[in-house]
Amino acid sequence: MSVANPATRRYLFAAFGGRCGYCLTATADHLDHLVPRAAGGSNSRFNLIPACTPCGRSKGALSIADWVSRQAAGATTTGAAAPPAPAPAYPVPRKPVTRHPAPA
């Protein structure tokens, strides 16, 4: 059973030009959940993205942030059983950065 109705499926594939929304190069062949179903993600169109099989399989049940981190680290396989992602090589701010200081 498809996770989206045919109109939503057509809309999402058209929005990405038929390409995978993760790698933007391969032809998409299915809809993937941005927030995995295992993490409570819904079948809403706002949580679906066209994907190619290699990207969909490598993302598995990972969050987008974890998947991107693993891809950046050169991971070839990921998924729920993969080891934790390495810590980022840059310091992550603990407080939100204030870009526009309040007027004095």
Give the residues lining the site for Zn ion (CB under 5 A). Answer: 20, 22-23, 26, 52, 55
Q: One-letter amino acid identity for 66? A: D
Q: Which residue is it, tokens 């959940």?
A: 33
CB of 54 to Zn ion, least distance (A): 6
Q: One-letter amino acid identity for 98? A: T
CB of 31 to Zn ion, least distance (A): 13
- Smaller CB separation from Zn ion, 18 or 88: 18
Q: What angle do CA 68, 34, 52 make, to 5 degrees?
A: 75
- Smaller CB separation from Zn ion, 20 or 62: 20
Quick one: DSSP state of residue 93? P
Beta carbons within 10 angstroms of residue 27's beta carbon:
12
CB of 26 to Zn ion, least distance (A): 4
- Smaller CB separation from Zn ion, 47 or 59: 59
| Residue 50 near residue 37, CB atoms below 8 Å | no
- Smaller CB separation from Zn ion, 52 or 62: 52
CB of 50 to Zn ion, least distance (A): 9
